[in-house]
Chain A
Amino acid sequence: MAKIYSKKALASKNLKPKKEVVSFLLNYSQALTVVKTKGKSFDIIAN
């Protein structure tokens, strides 16, 4: 088994989250409505 000597350089630049994650967040944001009534908060997610 080949030995891996390199260790990951942390905090490297140009790192970005997956496109799927960003797209999920934007869709989630569009679907979410937060309703506040009598001091209580309800999350409503539209399909």
Chain B
Amino acid sequence: MADLHIPDALLVKNYVEGNENALATLIKRHESKIYGFIYSKIADRDISNDIFQDTFIKVIKTLKSNSYNEEGKFLPWVMRISHNLIVDHFRKNKKMPMYRETEEFSIFSVMSDDSLTIENKMIFDQVEVDLKKIIEELPEDQKEVLVMRMYQDMSFKEISELTGVSINTALGRMRYALMNLRKIIDKHQIILTN
């Protein structure tokens, strides 16, 4: 608990001087913000973990080589590193092979537009709003599991650890949540289509 009162700058200084525990404290203090920031852009937990790891590898290398100067604050600096890695990730994935149009090959055979039309997008948004309202009707324990699983992309193991119940209980709550959702949808004859 005493660690919470040590400013980042001092922890960084301690770490540079060889105190490995200082790094553990820094990671623990900021992991949620940094990982949340990465996940908000990437929306994939595995890739977010990779980028989080690469971010801190850069942080560790920079600190260990004494190249860090405390001009700004530690957290904004780390966030900037992760932001750059996110940009790199998107840039890397954007690279596509080049196709040239010939008589036998039409470029339109490999191009398609999967994005929703304006009408479908409106329906999709409406479905989303309706669904959130229905979820609000669920009992608290079932709602909690469903939201963690579907909206926060957590595994049942993580849910069970966080809520303090067994995996089987979490699975059961999810099952009842889905059954109850169907019941509510049937009862009110709600149509969820897109």
Contact = CB atoms under 8 A, between A and B. Distances in A.
6 contacts: A4-B150, A13-B36, A15-B35, A17-B31, A26-B23, A32-B64
A28 B39 contact: no
B127 A5 contact: yes
A29 B150 contact: no
B53 interface: yes
A5 B192 contact: yes
A7 to B, nearest CB: 7
B114 to A, nearest CB: 15
Interface of B: 20, 23-24, 27-28, 31-32, 35-37, 39-40, 43, 48-49, 52-53, 56-57, 60-61, 64-66, 127-128, 131, 150-153, 162, 192, 194
For the residues of B in contact with A, the DSSP-based class is: helix
B151 A8 contact: yes
Contact of B32 (A6, A13, A21, A43): A13
Interface of A: 4-18, 21-22, 24-26, 28-30, 32-34, 36, 41, 43
B192 A15 contact: no
Contacts of A17: 31, 35, 48-49, 52-53
Contacts of A28: 57, 60
B61 A43 contact: yes
B31 A8 contact: no
Contact of B39 (A11, A24, A30, A33): A11
Contact of A10 (B24, B39, B194): B39
Contacts of A7: 128
B36 A11 contact: yes
